[in-house]
């Protein structure tokens, strides 16, 4: 349902807000190659990319590029090419029209990452495409999350299934999947509680949701999408580790790239984890959830304006 060719996504995916990752003319013209590379590496680290990945990128652009004086634009382009090389294998637009029916999709992530809003945006796209879906308010700990999902459901004309605050989330999801089967629906999109990755009991509950769903369909959930907040920086790496272990994450969405966050941690995640990146969120509107483009993201990260 939500789909685009890889070629189309590179054009249709405006990059996140450009960061301050810009090499100064003075550093570009410096006679000392070592000094220039050190300055570039520092710039990458401040984008939340991390020391190890920043070192890899600067090492890559050092080969044969600094034997003469080059401009700041040339440095930025070289950086973008190295970053895109890391990100490109992770670029994958998810196609909800494929697979079994109903296709069961869990959205996981910590409080404030933008899970509920992301589900709402996807629901809006699905409604435009004529899909029959069911939204499940599985974050039973927060009444506000339930109400927020209901608002998105009403906007999209898609039913929302919820329980009382504090209800058993696994039982609710089980009932939702049964309903989807009975009503011959295409998709079940499940919001989950904003579990902090260091809360063992809450992570255990998420694992319980996965186990219960598999009683109905051994292959479910068919997608487990981890929603990451760009503003948390390197902490996003530990979130990927924790949720991948607990819920079997199959893909990523990064939100809140419309503010001051640089999003460089997404490069570190792509280097460390073989996980597809499906979407980026660059605003509050449904159309602000864009298919991920490695080329556009890399250029924005180093300050190259989109054409």
Dump pLDDT digits (tens) for 236-277: 999 999 899 888 999 999 999 986 667 899 999 999 999 999
Q: At 206, is the secondary structure helix, strand, or coil?
A: helix
Question: At which residue do the structure tokens 């029959």 appear?
Answer: 132
| Cα–Cα dist 58/291, whole Å | 27
Give the C-alpha separation, 24 to 10, whole Å: 28
Task: Write the pLDDT tens digit of every residue in 48-75.
Answer: 787 788 778 877 776 655 555 666 677 7
Q: Using CA of residue 131, residue 149, residue 253, residue 166, what is the dihedral sign?
A: negative
Distance CA 195, CA 243 (A): 9
What tokens were used for 263?
A: 């999003």
β-strand partners of 223: 105
Beta strands at 251-255 and 187-192: parallel, antiparallel or unpaired: unpaired
C-alpha span between 108 and 128 (Å, rounded): 24
> For every one of its 307 residues, what pLDDT tens digit does the chain have, with 9 covering 90 and above?
455 434 444 444 555 554 444 445 444 444 445 566 677 777 777 777 877 887 788 777 766 555 556 666 777 888 889 899 999 999 998 888 778 999 999 999 988 899 999 999 998 888 888 889 999 999 988 888 899 999 999 998 999 999 988 899 999 999 999 999 999 999 999 999 886 656 777 788 888 999 999 999 999 999 999 999 999 988 999 999 989 988 899 999 999 998 666 789 999 999 999 999 999 999 989 899 999 999 999 998 888 887 6
pTM, two decimals, is 0.84
Phi, psi of 49, deg, nearest 5: -75, -30
């Amino acid at each position: 349902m939500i789909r685009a060719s890889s070629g189309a996504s590179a054009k249709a995916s405006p990059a996140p807000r450009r960061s301050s990752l810009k090499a100064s003319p003075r550093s570009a013209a410096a006679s000392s190659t070592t000094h220039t590379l050190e300055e570039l590496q520092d710039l990458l680290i401040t984008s939340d990319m991390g020391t190890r990945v920043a070192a890899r990128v600067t090492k890559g652009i050092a080969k044969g590029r600094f034997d003469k004086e080059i401009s700041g634009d040339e440095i930025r382009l070289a950086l973008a090419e190295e970053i895109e090389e890391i990100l490109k294998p992770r670029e994958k637009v998810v196609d909800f029209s494929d697979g079994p029916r109903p296709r069961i999709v869990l959205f996981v992530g910590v409080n404030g990452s933008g899970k509920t809003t992301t589900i709402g945006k996807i629901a809006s796209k699905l409604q435009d495409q004529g899909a029959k879906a069911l939204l499940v308010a599985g974050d039973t700990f927060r009444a506000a999350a339930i109400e927020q999902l209901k608002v998105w459901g009403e906007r999209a004309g898609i039913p929302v299934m919820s329980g009382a605050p504090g209800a058993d989330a696994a039982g609710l999801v089980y009932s939702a999947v049964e309903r989807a089967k009975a009503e011959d629906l295409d998709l079940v999109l499940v919001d989950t509680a904003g579990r902090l990755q260091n809360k063992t009991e809450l992570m255990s509950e998420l694992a319980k949701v996965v186990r219960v769903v598999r009683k109905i369909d051994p292959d479910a959930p068919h997608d487990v999408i981890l929603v990451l907040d760009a503003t948390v920086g390197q902490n996003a790496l530990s979130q990927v580790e924790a949720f991948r272990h607990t819920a079997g994450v199959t893909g990523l969405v990064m939100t809140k790239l419309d503010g001051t966050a640089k999003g460089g941690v997404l490069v570190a995640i792509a280097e460390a984890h073989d996980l597809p990146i499906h979407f980026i969120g660059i605003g509050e509107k449904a159309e602000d959830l864009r298919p991920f483009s490695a080329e556009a993201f890399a250029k924005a990260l180093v300050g190259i304006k989109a054409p």
